[in-house]
Amino acid sequence: MYCSTGVEHAVLMAYTYRMSYDPDRIDDIPSTASLSKMGITAIGYTAGGIFIFLLQAFTRVKLLGPIVGAVVCVIGVTSLMSKDPADKKAGGIITAAGVLVLLSKIPAIAPAAATLLSIGGIGLLAMGIINGIKFFIGLKKRS
């Protein structure tokens, strides 16, 4: 009789434990740090895409385009000198955008430069939207 009651008690305890602690559900909830990183990344990519489209608009202005392109190149090169890998990645993208703005003033290369700026802007916006969706899904899981 004692064994039967002990087994029933163990089964009941295991069932109660399983109902209160679902490891699949808990492991799926993102941490606050990863959630904030996703949100910041989404904002950064989206802002970068908008910035590239603004740079592309400056390529149409005769005198302002090369000046803005040169300033963006200098900012990108300064970011490339940083020790942080994330800053180097952003610096490379910024430098490339500045070079493309400068190259867009050369008539033979202008269409290719404009196409590459458009592809870069669309790519950054798409990454921003994807990371934003991941952020909102993670935020929904936390609530």
Average pLDDT in the chain: 83
Question: What residue type is assigned to position 128 of the chain?
Answer: G
Confidence bin at 27 (pLDDT 50/70/90):
low
For the chain, what's the residue count?
143
Please name which of 38, 34, 66, 9 lies closest in space to residue 128, comparing C-alpha atoms: 38
Is residue 138 within 8 A of residue 34, CB to CB? The reply is yes
SS (H, E, C) 109-120: CHHHHHHHHHHH
Residue 2 pLDDT > 50: no
pLDDT in tens, 53-108: 998 888 888 888 889 999 999 999 998 998 888 888 889 999 999 999 999 888 89
Residue 43 neighbours by CB distance under 10 Å: 14
